Structure 1
Amino acid sequence: MTAAPSFAATHDNNPDRKKPKPPAMMSSVGGAQLAKPGTQVRLGPGAPVLPKEVSGRSWIVADAETGDVLAAHNAHWRLPPASTLKMLFADTLLPKLPKTTVHKVAPEELADLGDGSSLVGIKENQSYTVHDLWLGVFLRSGNDAVHVLSSMNDGIDKTVVDMQKHAEELQALDTKVVSPDGYDAPGQVSSAYDLTLIARSGMQKKDFREYCSTVSADFPGEEKKGKKRETFKIQNTNRLLTGSNGIAPYKGIAGVKNGSTTQAGSTFTGIAERNDRVLLVTVMHPESDESMAVYKEAGRLLDWGFAASGKVTPIGELVPPTSAEPLSPDPEPVKNGDADNDNPADPVAASQTGSSGIGVALSVAGAVLAGLGTAMFLIRRRWPLPNRARREPRA
Structure 2
Amino acid sequence: MQAAGNPAAQTARNPAAQAAAPAVPCPRPDVKPPPGRPPRPTPPKDDPVLRAVGGDALATDGLVVPPGAKRPPALTATSWLVADLDTGEVLGSCGPHVYGTPASVQKLLLAATVMDRLDPKKTITVTEGDLAIEPGSSAVGLLKGGRYTIATLWLGLLLNSGNEAANALARLGGGAGGVPATVAAMNAEAKRLGAYQTHAVTPSGLDGPGQFTSAYDLALIARKCFADAEFRKYALTRTAQIPAQKQLKKGGFQIQNENKLIFNYPGALGGKTGFTQLARHSYVGGAERGGRRLVATLLGAEARPLRGWQQGAALLDWGFSLPRDASVGKLVAPDGPETKGTATGASVAPLAEKRPAPAPAAARAASSSGLPLGAAAAIAVILAATPLLLLLTQRRRHRVRRRPAGRARPTSR
User: Shared fold (TM-score greater than 0.5)?
Assistant: yes
Map 1:211-222 to 2 at 5 A: 211-222=234-245
Where 1:166 maps in the other structure, the secondary structure is: helix
Structure 2 CA distance, aligned partners of 1:341 and 1:24? Answer: 35
Partner secondary structure for residue 97 of structure 2: coil
Q: Note the aligned Cα RMSD (angstroms).
A: 3.0
Question: What SS does structure 2 have at the residue aligned with 1:59?
Answer: strand
Which ranges in structure 1 are unaligned for 5 or more consecutive residues?
Answer: 1-10, 243-248, 325-338, 345-363, 376-395
Shift, 1:307, TM fit: 0.9
| Letter in structure 2 aligned against 1:130 | I
Report SS of the residue matched to 2:78: strand
Question: Shift of residue 109 of structure 1?
Answer: 2.7
Mean Cα deviation higher: 230-239 or 28-37: 230-239
Q: CA deviation at 1:186?
A: 1.2
Residue 17 of structure 1, CA deviation:
10
Shift in CA distance, 239/374, structure 1 to aligned 2, threshold 3 Å: same
Q: Which residue of 2 aligns with 1:379?
A: none
Q: CA deviation at 1:24?
A: 9.8
Q: Distance in 2 between matches of 1:368 and 1:165?
A: 18
In the alignment, which of 15, 23, 28 is matched to residue 52 of structure 2?
28
Q: Partner residue of 1:192?
A: 215
Q: Show the counterpart of 1:305.
A: 319
Aligned mates of 1:188, 1:172 — CA distance in 2: 13
SS of corresponding position for 2:112: helix
Cα distance between partner residues in 2 of 1:55 and 1:157: 34
Matched, 1:256 2:271: yes
8 Å contact from structure 1 (residues 24, 36) kept in 2 = no
> CA shift at 1:230, angstroms?
4.6
How do 1:248-327 and structure 2 match up within 5 A?
Answer: 249-287=264-302, 289-292=304-307, 294-310=308-324, 312=326, 314-322=327-335
Letter in 1 for 2:146: Q
Q: Does 1:175 align with 2:175?
A: no
> Given that residues 130 and 165 in structure 2 are in contact (C-alpha distance below 8 angstroms), is that contact kept between their aligned partners in structure 1?
no
For 1:50, the aligned partner's letter is P
SS in 2 for 1:272: strand
2:104 to 83, 87, 112: 83
SS of 2:296's equivalent?
strand
Q: Which runs of 5+ in 2 are unaligned?
A: 1-31, 338-356, 375-413
User: Does 2:36 correspond to 1:37?
Assistant: no
Inter-CA distance 177–19: structure 2 relative to 1 (3 Å threshold): closer
1:265, distance to aligned residue in structure 2 (A):
0.5
- Would you say the 8 A contact 1:218–1:233 is kept in 2? yes
Q: Which residue of 1 aligns with 2:253?
A: 232
Shift of the 21–91 alpha-carbon distance from structure 1 to 2, 3 Å rule, reads closer
Shift of 1:289: 3.2
> What does the per-residue CA deviation read over 1:11-38, in whole Å, with 9 as the maximum and x for residues that have no partner?
9524999999996966111011111110
Would the alpha carbon gap of residues 19 and 321 (structure 1) be closer, same or farther in structure 2, given more than 3 Å must change? Answer: closer
Amino acid in structure 2 at the alignment position of 1:191: S
SS in 2 for 1:65: coil
CA deviations on 1:292-318 (whole Å, 9 max, x unpaired) are: 2x2222111111111113363x11000
Instruction: Check the 8 A contact 1:126/1:223 in 2, yes or no.
Output: no
1:55-94 map, 5 Å: 55-94=76-115
Q: CA deviation at 1:263?
A: 1.1
Kindly tell me: are residues 230 and 60 of structure 1, through their superposed partners in 2, closer, same or farther at Cα, counting changes over 3 Å?
A: same
Answer whether contact 2:285 2:309 (CA < 8 A) is retained.
no
- 2:137 matched to which residue of 1? 117
1:24–1:37 CA contact under 8 A, matched in 2: no
State the secondary structure of the residue aligned to 2:51: coil
Whether the aligned pair in 2 keeps the contact of 1:177 and 1:188 (CA below 8 Å) is: yes
Structure 1: distance between partners of 2:291 and 2:223:
17
- Are the structure 2 counterparts of residues 126 and 367 from structure 1 closer, same or farther at C-alpha, using a change threshold of 3 Å? closer
Identify the residue that residue 170 of structure 2 maps to in structure 1.
Answer: 150
Secondary structure, in 3 states, of the residue corresponding to 1:178?
A: coil
Give 1:198's aligned amino acid: I
Instruction: String of CA shifts for 1:145-203, please: whole Å, max 9, x gaps.
Output: 11111221242211110100100000100101100100011110101101110000111
Identity of counterpart residues, as a percentage?
37
Alpha-carbon contact 2:38-2:278 (below 8 Å) kept:
no
The 3-state SS of whatever aligns with 1:256 is strand
What is the CA–CA distance in structure 2 between the aligned matches of 1:137 and 1:174, rounded to whole Å?
24
TM-score calculated relative to the size of structure 1: 0.73
1:196/1:136 Cα in 2 relative to 1: closer, same or farther (>3 Å)? same
Secondary structure of the equivalent of 1:61?
strand
Do residues 139 (structure 1) and 139 (structure 2) align? no
CA distance in 2, matches of 1:19, 1:97: 35
User: Compared with structure 1, are the counterparts of its residues 17 and 36 closer, same or farther at alpha carbon in structure 2 (3 Å cutoff)?
Assistant: same
- Check 1:368–1:20 CA distance in 2 against 1; reply closer, same or farther (3 A cut): closer
* Bigger share in strand: 1
Q: How far did residue 367 of structure 1 move? A: 7.8
Secondary structure of 2:241's counterpart equals strand
Answer with 281-290 or 171-180: which moved more.
281-290
Supply the AA of the counterpart residue of 1:30: G
Offset of residue 92 of structure 1: 0.4
Call closer, same or farther: CA 1:288–1:232 in 2, change over 3 Å: closer
